[in-house]
């Protein structure tokens, strides 16, 4: 078992850290909100008062943060991971960030004597709580193999998808698929409501056929009940779709549905709904249909 530090104990990071504790690892957590650190301590982990303190003595450092600047902020500088981690430490970035930033930071990590994997996750809050995340990993195959004991405590589907940055590229594709699915599910539910259909019955039968999906299973009820308590905040999906559209433009790839949904997500965030679950895209469909 390893000494693992988890930096970022948010909606996803805290349950991930707790699973590592349950797997027998010695887990030290750092978060800007002390209450999240206290929750990890209550679950059997340890707490740190800074990134530097969390990093010292760790064999594996996991960062789980909202965006590229957040990751850069905790790994760089005199108090950052790169300066305070011992040579040979494995750094696993489970955040969702730009692929080009992931590549650059991996190179900086190598210069500091660290081994880097970009390992973004999919499955949302429930997947993190259940320990069944899908983890797409970019980096050196040998480093991927050495991370197995840690990754297996967090996820069910763990796949090496290529060199550094590949994990973030696959995650961008994941976020594109999820966003389009959420939009189409929202449109379907508004359509069903307009026709007075029994929504519970409709979602049950749709879920059992070709229209069935994890998105329908996890987000359909939230739309029907208008319960948008965040499992994955709309503002973060807005950020992710910015990554997708920029990377697509760089590659010369046309994503018409993705571009349209990115605009709808942006409009919903700009209305002040960014803190809601990404299923709150449903609110935009309601408004466009005059049924808000």
Question: Which residues, in sequence order, are CB contacts of 102 under 8 Å at separation 6+?
Answer: 93, 118, 138, 164, 165, 167, 168
Q: Hey, what are 84's tokens?
A: 């305070």
Measured distance CA(15)–CA(23) in Å, rounded: 12
Catalytic positions, written as ranges = 171
* H, E, C per residue of the chain: CCEEEEECCCCCHHHHHHHHHHCCCEEEEECCCHHHHHHHHHCCCEECCCHHHHHCCCCEEEECCCCHHHHHHHHCCCCCHHHHCCCCCEEEECCCCCHHHHHHHHHHHHHCCCEEEECCEECHHHHHHHCCEEEEEEECHHHHHHCHHHHCCCEEEEEEEECCCHHHHHHHHHHHHHHHHHHHHHHHHHHHHHCCCCHHHHHHHHHCCCCCCHHHHHHHHHHHHCCCCCCCEHHHHHHHHHHHHHHHHHHCCCCHHHHHHHHHHHHHHHHHHCCCEHHHHHHHHHHHCCCC
The total of other beta-carbon atoms located within 10 Å of residue 251's CB is 9
CA dihedral angle for residue 35, residue 135, residue 238, residue 105, rounded to 10 degrees: 80
């Amino acid at each position: 078992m390893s000494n693992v530090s988890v930096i970022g104990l948010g909606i996803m990071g805290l349950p991930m850290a707790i699973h590592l504790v349950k797997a027998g690892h010695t887990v030290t957590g750092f978060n800007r909100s002390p209450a999240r650190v206290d929750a990890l301590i209550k679950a059997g982990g340890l707490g740190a008062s800074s990134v530097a303190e969390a990093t010292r003595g760790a064999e594996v450092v996991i960062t789980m943060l909202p965006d590229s600047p957040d990751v850069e902020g905790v790994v760089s500088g005199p108090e950052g991971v790169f300066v305070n981690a011992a040579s040979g430490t494995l750094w696993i970035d489970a955040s969702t960030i730009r692929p080009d930033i992931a590549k650059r930071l991996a190179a900086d990590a190598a210069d500091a004597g660290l081994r880097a994997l970009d390992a973004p996750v999919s499955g949302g809050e429930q997947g993190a709580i259940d320990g069944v995340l899908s983890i797409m990993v970019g980096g050196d195959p040998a480093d991927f193999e050495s991370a197995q004991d840690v990754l297996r405590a967090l996820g069910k589907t763990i796949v090496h998808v290529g060199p550094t940055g590949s994990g973030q590229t696959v995650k961008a594709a994941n976020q594109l698929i999820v966003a389009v699915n959420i939009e189409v599910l929202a449109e379907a539910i508004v359509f069903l409501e307009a026709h007075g259909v029994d929504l519970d019955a409709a979602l049950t039968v749709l879920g059992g056929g070709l229209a069935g999906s994890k998105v329908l299973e996890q987000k359909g009820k939230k739309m029907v009940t208008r319960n948008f308590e965040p499992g994955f905040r709309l503002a973060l999906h807005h950020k992710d779709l910015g990554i997708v559209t920029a990377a697509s433009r760089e590659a010369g790839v046309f994503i018409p549905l993705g571009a349209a949904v990115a605009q709808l997500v942006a409009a919903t965030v700009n209305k002040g709904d960014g803190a809601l679950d990404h299923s709150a895209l449903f609110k935009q469909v309601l408004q466009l249909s005059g049924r808000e």
